[in-house]
Amino acid sequence: MVFVDGMAQMTHVMPFGILVVLDFFLVATSAGLVLLSALGIPLGWGRLKPFSQRAAYLALATVIAGPVALLADLGHPLRFLNLFLHFNVRSAMSWGSYILLVYIAVVAVYAWLLRQKSAQARPWAVAVGFLALALITYTGMLLAEAHTRFLWSTALTPALFIVSGVASALGLLAFGLRRTRTQRAAGSEGSQAGQVLRLPLLWVLAAEGVLTVLELLSLMADGARGWGLLKVFFGPLQPTFLWLQLVIGLILPMVVLLKGKGEAAVSLAGAGTIIGVFFLRYNWVIGGQILPQSGNVYNYQEQSAYTWAVFVFALAVAGVLALLIPKLFETVAARVETKERGVSA
């Protein structure tokens, strides 16, 4: 152990692995989905309203699946109780734990109000929107607290995480366009679904690209540490940074959106966006740990078969919940309506 900037550091340990990356990705995607859903209600952005209900359901699915990966990463899942039993007002992780619990409950209520077409959905949309913004900011602030991890403590990290979370949310909605029956049942609105998502996705990808370039420029201006991180991005992380994040996840989706305007093009761009945002999270989380705090040997972390099994399981949980949650809400709504008819009779 050595001291870096006056803080004790385990210089060759990488505490955050692929499961933490997945949790950050799913939670940020959920928050992005809620922001998009909420925009269609209180701000009167009518073009997004057809997606509000679906976005709320997907937000629940992804935010529940994310902590599944995180709890498995702890090794002893019950350790998470310590975050609630020992609250630290100066810790982003302590705040984030409570925000996450409240967020899940409020999103569930908000999704129910949308399903019931209740007038109360509007004020709840405002509340859940603020919670989503807090949650999506929390993941960036959690990394920014690690001052000795230079890449994490840059001023642009929280902003990049917010924008990329909205990008992955739009990407998920766009990817599901060709599978969404509710959009097809909406008549003319359904036929314009691709156009509704095309421009927002294009602009958000452009913003993500600008922030990424600014981040790289700020690294270049910061001397040896910055150039060391650039060597990481274009060295051990070159396949995931250059090809998966930038080319497949950013440049190609923008080209597809500029060239094509149909549902197929928007859906394809959405798939690329999802890949790109996941690897943005991967490159920032892992890249911040590859560069050693002392010495000149890169840190590496091999993922076990158990880790990959949990990774696949968490994604499967998200997929299954995305299918089951709408059916669950419909079943509960049908029972409530049946009971109300019985009472009125």
pLDDT in tens, 112-125: 999 998 889 889 99
pLDDT in tens, 239-248: 999 999 999 9
The whole-angstrom separation of Cα 237 and Cα 9 is: 23
Q: Pick the range with the lowest mean pLDDT from 88-102, 140-154, 202-216.
A: 140-154
pLDDT in tens, 48-74: 777 889 999 999 999 999 999 999 988
| 120, two tokens | 């109360």
Q: What mean pLDDT do residues 34-42 have?
A: 78
pLDDT of residue 41: 54
pLDDT of residue 6: 43
Q: What mean pLDDT do residues 227-240 have?
A: 88
Q: Which residue has the higher pLDDT, 295 or 204?
A: 204
Q: Pick the range with the lowest mean pLDDT from 41-45, 260-264, 299-303.
A: 41-45
Q: What mean pLDDT do residues 34-48 have?
A: 70
Sequence-ordered list of residues with C-beta below 8 angstroms from that of 3, at least 6 positions apart, any chain:
9
With 70 as the cut, is the pLDDT of residue 310 above it? yes
Q: pTM value?
A: 0.91
Closest CA to 274 of 197, 153, 168: 168
Q: What mean pLDDT do residues 133-138 have?
A: 90
Q: What mean pLDDT do residues 164-185 have?
A: 78
Q: Pick the range with the lowest mean pLDDT from 48-52, 76-80, 112-116, 323-327.
A: 76-80
Tell me whether residue 305 is exposed, middle or buried, using C-beta atoms within 10 angstroms of its C-beta: 0 to 12, 13 to 18, 19 or more.
exposed
DSSP character string of 235-280: TTTHIIIIIIIIIIIIIHHHHHHHH--SHHHHHHHHHHHHHHHHHH
Does the CA dihedral 158-162-168-171 come out positive or negative? Answer: negative
Q: What mean pLDDT do residues 316-324 have?
A: 97
Q: Which residues on neighbouring strands pair with residue 2, listed in sequence order?
A: 9
Q: Which residue has the higher pLDDT, 43 or 140?
A: 140
The whole-angstrom separation of Cα 11 and Cα 187 is: 58
Which of helix, strand or coil describes residue 303? coil
pLDDT of residue 44: 47
pLDDT in tens, 216-226: 888 888 777 78
With 70 as the cut, is the pLDDT of residue 187 above it? no
pLDDT of residue 190: 43
Q: What mean pLDDT do residues 252-257 have?
A: 97
Domains, the chain: 12-145+305-336 (1.20.1630.10), 190-298 (no CATH)
Q: Pick the range with the lowest mean pLDDT from 162-166, 251-255, 288-292.
A: 288-292
